[in-house]
């Protein structure tokens, strides 16, 4: 590349780079600085530099490890269910039948609803007094009509996972459907000529070719699940052991007005998500290369 071309390239990249620094790097740097200090919003003069004190306090706190564990429970349970449901949804939407466009709109509707709205709807369904489930159980004289669903840690965890899968499985289905529609039809015709059944075609042809789309959907959903805030906050405000890392950050930073500690928790959450993303991409990338070699 000659000098003139290099100058043109630098001139074109510089505005985007400056904007990225202003939007991403500066806030992250400021958050790191806040996390190294202890701030008193009531008595500004008591603010002081504590170094890694906030990090040490949080990493030795049971509340951080509880939120850390709960976030991973939600992510490791909900994401596989979303991938399975989304892949099945994509296979259904890829079929040619009358009314397919209407069915696509209906099945993708949960993803179009705001997460807070869906959380409110789901929480109202399990209200112990006027909830739909409680009303139905009491009307049919079935057990469970007097259960306070959102106060039980085990039950509310299941409800959060179900609500998350219902909300985001259509998103996974959309990504997988895009990958499904770029697969050449010649591949399926060759499998049919070889005598492969539909089940064999799915496992040995369709699924390996969909691996890149599923991997992308998986990493996007896992990162979102680890950063989950809306559902647990609307359901329980993080009570009864249902606080995720993001809920803990919010409660510490805004509810308790602990700026330094909350910033430290935010940086820890960011670090955890980034490490998980790197590990997932490395693992998924190796598997995708292996699948590509085997499919040749």
The superfamily (CATH) of domain 62-295 is MetI-like (1.10.3720.10)
Q: Average pLDDT, stretch 181-188?
A: 81
Q: State pTM to two decimals.
A: 0.83
Tens digits of residue pLDDT in 149-176 = 888 888 899 999 999 999 999 989 988 9
Tens digits of residue pLDDT in 27-86 = 888 888 988 888 766 666 667 888 888 999 999 999 999 999 999 999 999 999 999 999
DSSP string, the chain: --HHHHHHHHHHHHHHHHHHIIIIIHHHHHHHHHHTEE--SS-GGG-EE-TTHHHHHHHT-HHHHHHHHHHHHHHHHHHHHHHHHHHHHHHHHTS--TTHHHHHHHHTHHHHS-HHHHHHHHHHHT-TTT-HHHHHHHHTT-TTTT--GGGSHHHHHHHHHHHHHHHHHHHHHHHHHHHHTTS-HHHHHHHHHTT--HHHHIIIIIHHHHHHHHHHHHHHHHHHHHT--HHHHHHHTTTTTT--HHHHHHIIIIIS--HHHHHHHHHHHHHHHHHHHHHHHHHHHHHHHHHHHHH-
């Amino acid at each position: 590349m000659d000098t003139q071309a290099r100058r043109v390239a630098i001139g074109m990249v510089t505005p985007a780079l400056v904007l990225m620094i202003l939007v991403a790097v500066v806030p992250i740097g400021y958050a790191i600085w806040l996390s190294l200090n202890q701030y008193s919003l009531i008595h500004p003069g008591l603010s002081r530099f504590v170094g890694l004190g906030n990090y040490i306090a949080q990493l030795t706190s049971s509340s951080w490890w509880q939120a850390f564990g709960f976030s991973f429970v939600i992510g490791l349970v909900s994401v596989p269910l979303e991938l399975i449901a989304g892949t099945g949804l994509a296979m259904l939407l890829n079929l040619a039948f009358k009314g397919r466009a209407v069915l696509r709109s209906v099945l993708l509707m949960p993803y179009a609803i705001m997460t807070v709205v869906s959380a409110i709807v789901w929480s109202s369904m399990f209200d112990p007094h006027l909830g739909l489930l409680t009303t139905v159980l009491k009307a049919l004289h079935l057990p469970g009509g007097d259960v306070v669903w959102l106060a039980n840690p085990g039950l509310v965890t299941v409800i959060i996972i179900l609500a998350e899968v219902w909300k985001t499985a259509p998103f996974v289905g959309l990504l997988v459907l895009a990958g499904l529609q770029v697969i050449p039809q010649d591949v399926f015709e060759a499998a049919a000529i070889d005598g492969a059944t539909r089940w064999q075609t799915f496992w040995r042809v369709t699924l390996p070719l969909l691996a890149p789309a599923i991997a992308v959907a998986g990493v996007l959903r896992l990162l979102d699940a680890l950063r989950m805030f809306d559902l647990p906050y609307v359901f329980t405000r993080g009570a009864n052991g249902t606080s995720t890392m993001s809920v803990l950050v919010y409660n510490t930073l805004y509810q308790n007005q602990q700026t330094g500690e909350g910033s430290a928790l935010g940086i820890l959450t960011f670090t955890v998500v980034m490490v998980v993303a790197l590990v997932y991409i490395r693992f998924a990338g190796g598997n995708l290369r292996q699948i590509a070699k085997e499919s040749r």
